[in-house]
């Protein structure tokens, strides 16, 4: 059945096993540092990505995601350190590497005055593809991204989500086994975002493509097999979303009070817990948080205006590792919130 223009095809099948830790690394990022005019944008970043892994680079604005993305996609040389992809050094063999990786940039690269088919044909020519094999591959890719029935329409008539899918088809036309995507869902509505992530899973599961995706959205990071969380150019956490959240152990309690600083201080004096003030609320990480609630409310009668107990999120992992919230005034909370909606 031909998929509708709003869907990817076919439905994803989950892999029996996630990438095994003994698998050789497909991407090795080794102690990369990068300075722009004296400003340290990446400060000793190291991690490895295994075959057919969906790997996320999560970080707030200014954390270094784009800089790292540019280094991995061979557009920039790091000041120090090394990025190896499929055994090739991104700095020493950029041309060889470009043939083996697919890159989807945040900025639009398709020509909207051309049809989807024409855009892909140009891309194919750049990679030395032509004739019947190229036509077949274009049809295959447009089918994969759910645009087979729109092949000959100009890209300017497509929705944002559909345009992004043409970008994806472009990035994948030459059969790369590694795909790099920089904030691929920026500007997409929730449905189109879901579609895109579904397609990334299909790529991983059915074509065993290794995918690195940068994002500043927690809910997207949750969908990755593993992630590196960046803050001010450093990896502050590395692991599966479940592992990272598990490390906090227990619950996160938030208390609202008129004077949170004073309350936090008195809680610390009275109970064996770490109570900190974050964004105007007292925040405590604790096993069996619900039991502590009764004790704390009774200990400070009338002072606590609201209580919440929740399982840790990736934002809590970030706070745990850095001592501050993911979005702050400094890294553009307002801008990020706007981008999100």
Which residues would be at the binding site for ligand ADP (CB under 6 A)? 36-37, 39, 41, 59, 61-67
Nearest CB to ligand ADP, comparing residues 297 and 336: 336
| Residue 201 C-beta-side C-alpha neighbours within 13 Å | 20
Closest CA to 5 of 193, 147, 197: 147
Local structure of 250: helix, strand or coil: coil
C-beta separation of 135 from 129 below 8 A: no
Please report how close the Cβ of residue 67 comes to ligand ADP at its closest, in angstroms.
3
Nearest CB to ligand ADP, comparing residues 233 and 260: 233
Please report how close the Cβ of residue 235 comes to ligand ADP at its closest, in angstroms.
13
Nearest CB to ligand ADP, comparing residues 186 and 262: 186
Helices (H), 103-259: 116-126, 131-144, 160-172, 190-207, 218-221, 241-246
| 185 contact partners, CB below 8 Å, separation of at least 6 | 164, 192, 193, 196, 197, 215, 217, 220
Nearest CB to ligand ADP, comparing residues 56 and 260: 56
Please report how close the Cβ of residue 54 comes to ligand ADP at its closest, in angstroms.
19
Nearest CB to ligand ADP, comparing residues 59 and 176: 59
Partners of 179 in the beta sheet? 102, 211
Local structure of 185: helix, strand or coil: coil
Please report how close the Cβ of residue 53 comes to ligand ADP at its closest, in angstroms.
21
Report d(CA 271, CA 292) in Å as an integer.
Answer: 10
Nearest CB to ligand ADP, comparing residues 42 and 49: 42
Please report how close the Cβ of residue 233 comes to ligand ADP at its closest, in angstroms.
7
Report d(CA 250, CA 312) in Å as an integer.
Answer: 8
Nearest CB to ligand ADP, comparing residues 45 and 52: 45
Please report how close the Cβ of residue 36 comes to ligand ADP at its closest, in angstroms.
3
C-beta separation of 198 from 8 below 8 A: yes
**DSSP letter, residue 282:** E
Please report how close the Cβ of residue 178 comes to ligand ADP at its closest, in angstroms.
20
């Amino acid at each position: 059945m031909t998929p509708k223009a709003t869907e990817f095809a076919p439905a994803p099948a989950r892999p029996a096993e996630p990438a095994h830790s003994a698998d050789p690394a497909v991407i090795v990022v080794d102690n990369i540092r990068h300075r722009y005019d004296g400003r340290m944008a990446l400060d000793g970043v190291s991690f490895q990505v295994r075959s057919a892994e969906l790997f996320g680079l999560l970080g707030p604005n200014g954390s270094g995601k784009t800089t790292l993305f540019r280094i991995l996609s061979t557009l920039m040389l790091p000041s120090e350190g090394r990025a190896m992809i499929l055994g090739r050094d991104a700095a020493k063999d950029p041309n060889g590497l470009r043939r083996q990786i697919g890159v989807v940039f945040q900025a639009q690269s398709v020509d909207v005055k051309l049809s989807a088919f024409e855009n892909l044909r140009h891309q194919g020519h750049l990679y030395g593809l032509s004739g019947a094999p190229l036509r077949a591959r274009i049809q295959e890719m447009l089918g994969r991204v759910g645009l087979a029935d729109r092949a000959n329409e100009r890209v300017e008539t497509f929705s944002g989500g559909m345009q992004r899918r043409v970008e994806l088809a472009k990035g994948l036309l030459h059969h790369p086994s590694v795909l790099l995507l920089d904030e691929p869902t920026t500007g997409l509505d929730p449905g189109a975002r879901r579609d895109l992530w579904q397609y990334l899973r299909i790529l991983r599961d059915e074509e065993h493509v290794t995918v690195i995706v940068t994002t500043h959205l927690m809910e997207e990071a949750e969908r990755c097999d593993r992630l590196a969380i960046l803050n001010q150019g450093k990896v502050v956490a590395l692991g599966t979303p479940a592992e990272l959240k598990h490390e906090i152990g227990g619950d996160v309690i938030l208390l609202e009070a008129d004077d949170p600083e004073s309350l936090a201080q008195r809680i610390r004096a009275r109970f064996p817990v770490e109570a900190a003030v974050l964004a105007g609320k007292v925040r405590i990480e604790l096993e069996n948080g619900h039991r502590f609630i009764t004790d704390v409310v009774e200990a400070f009668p009338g002072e606590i205006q609201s209580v919440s107990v929740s399982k840790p999120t990736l934002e809590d992992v970030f706070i745990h590792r850095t001592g501050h919230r993911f979005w702050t005034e400094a890294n553009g909370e307002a801008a990020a919130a706007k981008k999100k909606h």
